[in-house]
Structure 1
Amino acid sequence: MQRERRPDEPDGREGVKNEEQCVQLEKEEGGEHNDEQAVVPAKLPPYSKAAAAQRLNEIPPQAPRGVHYSAPHLRTHPEGWRAKRHKKRKNLRISNSRHASAENLGMRLGFMPLTLITLTVLVVGTSVLVGLAAFRDATYHRYGQALTTLPDILPKDNLKLYDAQGELLYQSTSRGIQTTVPFSKISKHLVNAEVAIEDQSFWNNEGYDITGIVRAALENLLHGRVMGGGSTITQQLIKNAIVGNQTSMIRKLQEILLAPDVTRRFSKEEILSMYLNTIYYGEQAYGAEAAAFTYFGLQPKDGKTAAEQLDIAQAAMLAGIPSSPNARNPFKNFKVAFSRMKEILKQMRLQGYITHDEELQAIHEAQQPNFLKRGVIKNDALVASHFINYTLRELADELHVKVEDLPRSGLIVKTTLDYSKQKEILKIAQKHIRGMAAQHNMSNAAVVVLDPHTGAIRALLGNIDPADPQSGAFDVASQGLRQPGSTFKAFIYANAFNQGISPGNKVADTPLTVQMCCGLPPYQPKNYDLKFHGIVSYRYALQNSFNIPAVRLLMQTGVDESLNLAKKMGITEYNGTPNYTMVLGTLGVHLIDMTSAYGVFANKGVRVPPHAIDVALDARSGKPVLQYNKKGEQVISPQLAFVMTDVLSDNTSRIFEFGKCSALYLYSTSERECYAGNPGPVRPAAAKTGTSNDFRDNWTIGYTTDYVVGVWAGNNDNSPMVDVSGIDGAGPIWHDTMQLMEQGKPIRHFDGPPPGVEKRNVDGNVDWVITKH
């Protein structure tokens, strides 16, 4: 670039001041020029680039070496400019370095944290998603099966026992009451009230309500504590039945994850039905049916369930309880419950379920003094408590569970009990014991009535005073082991007749001494009347309960054989030592076993074990869980059963000991008329009495074609009675019980002899002989 000339610097052409002078000078030096060839520079502004370019020629030529050039040597740059330039560049480098450092620092402080934050968010987000996926999988793995079987894992109904006529006998209350009813049998008012207050979007949501959850979360944050969970009805069902009611975020997430699946698997009606049948309403009442009974005393009537009878006011009151069963219990906090009820009625009106007039009418109804009516379960345990306990033990044994597991087993059990007859039998036993108590020191009795053809227990009275706090709960009939006295002789005689001995064979009723083993003193049996009766037939000896002939018979036929026969016929348990004294009833046995064993004689030799349960149904499905269908077993021959029945029903043969109109004789008139020769129609019956040593136990066991009845009488503490035998103590109870059971039934005689039984002359007596089994 052309530098500017200093003012005092010569331009090489002295005296030439302008371009015109320059042109003139050129003409003089070079001669004359042709005007046409003369080049005249254009006049340009001195500041233009073209003018600057033309001035390049104004730079003087470089002087030859060694030649002094008169022009002064001017510096191109000012002095010290290089140092300044070096310093300037150094400073520039330093500045650039600082700028770069600042940029790097900005990168570290700006972009790097942002990158880290972004990566952190991505990692956390990915982890959350992975965690949620894992949590979802774990939830389904843990509870997936429960979703499929949700109706089966819901809390089950409380156990209910009904008698043979369908009358409610007992229901367990130890773990609350619950009765499942169909959705169609629940009041629509209760359905609407529950939906209105608990889950407004129930009929349309997927099982959860995000709006409700957010609203509940904000409310909880506002109050600083858990005010509500925003759970839908579906979520509450899942909480109660599957995941549990622990208050935690995990449980809430599990509800939300499972709710859509429940909604897909079950209809809205099914979900609401499961909810309304199991939700807790306080006062140990689970489900709508139990709540309707508990708070308003409603019971099934005219084909309608209690839950079906609920009106608007009652439904609104009940709908307010589940969210806080204790605080909103109308029996305890009516004001709180009433306030909640009004809130529910308002929601029902706003959502179009009821009108304003219906709302006001419901409020007015709830303010009446008789609005609430507590329902009371009447378990008539004092009448049938022993039968109930026997039934519970039988049910537990058959289902292979513990009795403690039965209260919420969800079973409806139809039993064999004739409840009306059970109550009458209790009165009969109490009446006779009162009459014997003072004079004979007799305080208690037990009665068992069986159908020998089916084994059904029609009555079981284990104690005449079930309310007695000391001994009333003890069931002598099925749990007590008492000495049966002469009633045990039936098994010894049956064993003998089975071996070919005839009832007509003769035996000596004379003094007898039996040598005992093992250092025991000799045994000398005695008769009840302390007399000897000479030569008698076995029929006569058995019917008059002579002891010595029975001991002789046992010595002839064998102790083990007779005991084994008794076991086959139904003696499941005994205490004592089997020996020759066994014929006198020295082994302790159960009354129900003895009664069942006599039923074998009544049922032509077929044993059907006693049972208290006809059928046990699942309350929800109505399907049988347990049904008695055991077939009887032929344990003795029909021939032997016939012979024993013929002997035990021979009233004539026992006149010597008992008289012709004893309690074992089922005449239809009074005792006075009977002895006067007018017994009226007589129902055939086979029976045997027994009295243990020291008069501690009285027994009478006998049967007709319809029933077998066993009666024990004595004292709870096993103390001896005073001068009383089986015919006096247990006999009258047996007689009246049998007459009660046979009321209205036609009189039927025992069947005749089956093939294999013949009448022959035996020892001068014509009697039956078993010729073939």
Structure 2
Amino acid sequence: MVNRRMASTPLPPCTLASRISPANAPRRNSTWRRPPCCFRTVLGLMVTQHYITRVEALDAMKEAQSPHFFKKAPSLLDRAPHFTSFVLDQLVHIFGLKNRSQLSRSGMIVNTTLDINLQDKIQKIAQRHIAELRAAHNLTNAAEVLIDYHSGAIISLLGSIDYNNTAINGQFDVATQGYRQPGSSFKPYVYVTAFKQGASPAQAIVDAPTTIANPGGSPAFYSPTNYDLSFHGHMTMRCALQNSLNVPAVRVLKHVGISAAMQTAKDMGITSYEGTPGYSLVLGGLGIRLIDHTSAMGTFANGGVHVGYYAVSKVVSAASHKVIYQHQIDQGKRVISPQLAYMMTNVLSDNTARIPEFFDCNVLQLYSKSQDNCYNGDRGIVRPAAAKTGTTQNFRDNWTVGYTTDYVMGVWAGNDDNSPMYNVTGVQGAAPIWHDSMLVAEQGHPIRDFINPGGLEQATVTYPDGVKTTDWFIPGTVPTFTRPTPVPTPTDAATPGQGTPTPTPQPGGDNPIPPQAHPYCPSVFSFVDNPPANQSGNGWW
């Protein structure tokens, strides 16, 4: 792990030494202008002032004998400019300063949470992947945030793939300043609101033509569509969420209420947004920040406890060498129960459930071998991970936000000028960056599975319409049904030769749909027999 005490300060070592001992500030033609002398002086000061031991200083001097050791290295400002800018803003806030200019006179030694070596690797991954898609898909930029959700420490923050590239407006920090639409990656907040209200991943729902009244909005009625412009019939919430279907998500939002869903998102960390909440919010219709979305998704990983993110861990006065700021451990705030958090994690980590739309070897799985190896039957070591993608309807924003037992990472891909990409979904644009970066971040960490906190009941439910599914429930919420007795259809119910007319969708959302002979997610649930022609509505959303 990088020594964040040294790497965290946006100052080169000689300047750092002058801040430690202002009386020894560099003078023209002094030893400070000769790197080896500067290096020895800095080490001596650090030993004297107890930043390192004498043995560590001697080891550093030995390392300095290697060729090209004293070549100019890029500063933290060069290597992580967006993170550095974010830290400066945090310092202004921490010390109640008016602006950044006051920091230059403050004489601070700043310790941050950044892992600069990991940051470099993630930036190269993002640059490589964007280069592969730039010409064919008009995809020019990406941003990334990696957080230790247990503590809130920001381990990596990439505001763009190239700070100095004016063609992509690289100096703009998409990660902390950009309000972009998250697409379907927002859906978990709405679904977990349904879990709070007594639903489970096994809740039956219908993917059918749906029209919902939109009072005060435009248009007056809202009719969502799926990405594939098709409807898939009867399914469970697990299936609907994992395959990122829009129509079931809107039906869930209608059931739980817009205000309740927004409150859940706010409690989990989405404290700032652009736009007006409406039924499109479940499809990512609001603009939110990548850093907030990443932190909020980490709440699921942290068992329902939200811990705010931070970048500054400690600040020392260069004059007095005293600690003038120390980040206090944040115990966080419980916003959902451990059981609800686990239910969502169990869904988002269920690769089998998302196969219909994402196929088996999608990069939302953290397999150690290549995707080609996966298709050939060799995934290698698979690290448990939960993730959700998102793509706006016009291909202007592309997201993947997901987590392991150690970190949560959010990745955005798109264009700063808001121009559309060409046919790039979340699993193609942001997800490969997320996959490769998360594997690098997890190197050296033990592989652990998500822990069931207990207090859940696994049960098999057969719905009146024929859907049979096994899933997790909060005790006392397992539904029981009595199968209805089919009523024979009168022979004169329809004019001979014309058949039964197809019902016209009506405002209100509860529209009938002919049942499918084969369910959309056969590996998740099954029809025990052919459902009746007219669904009863009992137990369905």
- Assess same fold via TM > 0.5: yes
Query: Which digits, 9 at most, give the CA deviation of each residue in 1:445-481, with x for residues without a partner?
Result: 0011110101111100000011123612100001000
Question: Is the Cα–Cα contact under 8 Å of residues 367 and 382 in structure 2 kept in the other structure?
Answer: yes
Question: Is the Cα–Cα contact under 8 Å of residues 177 and 289 in structure 2 kept in the other structure?
Answer: yes
Q: Would you tell me which structure has more helix in proportion to its own residues?
A: 1
Aligned counterparts, 1:329-340, within 5 A: none
Letter in 2 for 1:452: Y
The 3 A distance-change label for structure 1 pair 646 and 297 is same
Please tell me the root mean square deviation across aligned C-alpha atoms, in Å.
Answer: 2.5
User: Of residues 405, 423, 444 in structure 1, which corresponds to 2:120?
Assistant: 423
The 3 A distance-change label for structure 1 pair 434 and 304 is closer
Shift of residue 624 of structure 1?
A: 1.7
Question: Is the Cα–Cα contact under 8 Å of residues 17 and 45 in structure 2 kept in the other structure?
Answer: no
Give the structure 1 partner of residue 192 of structure 2: 494
Aligned counterparts, 1:100-119, within 5 A: none
Shift of residue 168 of structure 1?
A: 3.1
Question: Is the Cα–Cα contact under 8 Å of residues 607 and 634 in structure 1 kept in the other structure?
Answer: yes
Tell me the distance in 2 between the aligned counterparts of 1:466 and 1:597: 26
Give the structure 1 partner of residue 393 of structure 2: 693
Alignment of 1:606 with 2:305, yes or no, is: yes
Question: Is the Cα–Cα contact under 8 Å of residues 9 and 111 in structure 2 kept in the other structure?
Answer: no
Letter in 1 for 2:37: L
Matched length: 445
Query: Which digits, 9 at most, give the CA deviation of each residue in 1:492-520, with x for residues without a partner?
Result: 00100111101101101011111212262
Question: Is the Cα–Cα contact under 8 Å of residues 8 and 110 in structure 2 kept in the other structure?
Answer: no
SS of aligned partner of 1:622: coil
Normalising by structure 1, report the TM-score. 0.55
Give the structure 1 partner of residue 32 of structure 2: 293
Query: Which digits, 9 at most, give the CA deviation of each residue in 1:205-236, with x for residues without a partner?
Result: xxxxxxxxxxxxxxxxxxxxxxxxxxxxxxxx
Shift of residue 761 of structure 1?
A: 2.8
Give the structure 1 partner of residue 229 of structure 2: 530
Give the structure 1 partner of residue 218 of structure 2: 520
Letter in 1 for 2:202: G
Tell me the distance in 1 between the aligned counterparts of 2:419 and 2:410: 21
Question: Is the Cα–Cα contact under 8 Å of residues 269 and 293 in structure 2 kept in the other structure?
Answer: yes
Tell me the distance in 2 between the aligned counterparts of 1:736 and 1:302: 41
SS of aligned partner of 2:399: strand
Give the structure 2 partner of residue 760 of structure 1: 459
The 3 A distance-change label for structure 1 pair 481 and 620 is same
The 3 A distance-change label for structure 1 pair 540 and 164 is farther
Give the structure 2 partner of residue 168 of structure 1: 7
Shift of residue 547 of structure 1?
A: 0.3
Tell me the distance in 2 between the aligned counterparts of 1:700 and 1:720: 17
The 3 A distance-change label for structure 1 pair 579 and 747 is same
Shift of residue 619 of structure 1?
A: 2.0
The 3 A distance-change label for structure 1 pair 292 and 302 is closer
Query: Which digits, 9 at most, give the CA deviation of each residue in 1:713-752, with x for residues without a partner?
Result: 0001011001110000001000000100011211110102
Aligned counterparts, 1:142-541, within 5 A: 164-171=3-10, 179-180=18-19, 276-277=23-24, 281=27, 292-294=31-33, 298-301=37-40, 304-305=43-44, 378-401=74-97, 402-469=99-166, 471-518=169-216, 520-521=218-219, 522-541=221-240
Tell me the distance in 2 between the aligned counterparts of 1:462 and 1:628: 24
SS of aligned partner of 2:128: helix
Alignment of 1:643 with 2:347, yes or no, is: no
Question: Is the Cα–Cα contact under 8 Å of residues 482 and 590 in structure 1 kept in the other structure?
Answer: yes
Tell me the distance in 1 between the aligned counterparts of 2:42 and 2:11: 24
Give the structure 2 partner of residue 739 of structure 1: 439
Letter in 1 for 2:250: V
Letter in 2 for 1:613: V
SS of aligned partner of 2:458: strand
Tell me the distance in 1 between the aligned counterparts of 2:46 and 2:227: 65
Shift of residue 561 of structure 1?
A: 0.6
Aligned counterparts, 1:55-66, within 5 A: none
Shift of residue 169 of structure 1?
A: 4.7
The 3 A distance-change label for structure 1 pair 434 and 771 is same
Letter in 2 for 1:292: T
Query: Which digits, 9 at most, give the CA deviation of each residue in 1:98-133, with x for residues without a partner?
Result: xxxxxxxxxxxxxxxxxxxxxxxxxxxxxxxxxxxx
SS of aligned partner of 1:298: helix
Question: Is the Cα–Cα contact under 8 Å of residues 596 and 610 in structure 1 kept in the other structure?
Answer: yes
SS of aligned partner of 2:434: helix
The worse-fitting range, judged by mean Cα deviation, of 465-474 and 653-662 is: 465-474
Question: Is the Cα–Cα contact under 8 Å of residues 150 and 307 in structure 2 kept in the other structure?
Answer: yes
Pick 1 or 2: higher relative contact order, CA cutoff 8 A, min separation 6: 2
Tell me the distance in 2 between the aligned counterparts of 1:466 and 1:683: 32
The 3 A distance-change label for structure 1 pair 304 and 594 is closer
Question: Is the Cα–Cα contact under 8 Å of residues 300 and 306 in structure 1 kept in the other structure?
Answer: no
Aligned counterparts, 1:69-148, within 5 A: none
Question: Is the Cα–Cα contact under 8 Å of residues 368 and 381 in structure 2 kept in the other structure?
Answer: yes
Tell me the distance in 1 between the aligned counterparts of 2:16 and 2:453: 55
Q: Would you tell me which structure has more strand in proportion to its own residues?
A: 2
SS of aligned partner of 1:477: helix
SS of aligned partner of 2:398: strand
Tell me the distance in 2 between the aligned counterparts of 1:431 and 1:494: 35
Alignment of 1:683 with 2:344, yes or no, is: no
Shift of residue 411 of structure 1?
A: 1.3
Q: Is there any run of 5+ residues in structure 2 with no aligned partner, and where?
A: 49-69, 478-541
Question: Is the Cα–Cα contact under 8 Å of residues 363 and 371 in structure 2 kept in the other structure?
Answer: no
Question: Is the Cα–Cα contact under 8 Å of residues 503 and 537 in structure 1 kept in the other structure?
Answer: yes
Question: Is the Cα–Cα contact under 8 Å of residues 317 and 324 in structure 2 kept in the other structure?
Answer: yes
Q: Is there any run of 5+ residues in structure 1 with no aligned partner, and where?
A: 1-161, 183-273, 284-290, 310-373
Tell me the distance in 1 between the aligned counterparts of 2:124 and 2:38: 30
The worse-fitting range, judged by mean Cα deviation, of 601-610 and 468-477 is: 468-477
Tell me the distance in 1 between the aligned counterparts of 2:476 and 2:142: 41
Tell me the distance in 1 between the aligned counterparts of 2:305 and 2:297: 11
The 3 A distance-change label for structure 1 pair 171 and 303 is closer
Tell me the distance in 2 between the aligned counterparts of 1:681 and 1:742: 12
The 3 A distance-change label for structure 1 pair 378 and 676 is closer
Shift of residue 485 of structure 1?
A: 0.2
The 3 A distance-change label for structure 1 pair 308 and 769 is closer
Aligned counterparts, 1:541-560, within 5 A: 541-560=240-259
Larger radius of gyration: 1
Give the structure 1 partner of residue 506 of structure 2: none
Give the structure 2 partner of residue 330 of structure 1: none
SS of aligned partner of 1:406: helix
Query: Which digits, 9 at most, give the CA deviation of each residue in 1:596-651, with x for residues without a partner?
Result: 00100011111111111111112233322111113311121111111111110001
Tell me the distance in 1 between the aligned counterparts of 2:415 and 2:10: 31
Question: Is the Cα–Cα contact under 8 Å of residues 383 and 426 in structure 1 kept in the other structure?
Answer: no
Question: Is the Cα–Cα contact under 8 Å of residues 19 and 107 in structure 2 kept in the other structure?
Answer: no
Question: Is the Cα–Cα contact under 8 Å of residues 497 and 640 in structure 1 kept in the other structure?
Answer: yes
SS of aligned partner of 1:740: helix
Shift of residue 308 of structure 1?
A: 11
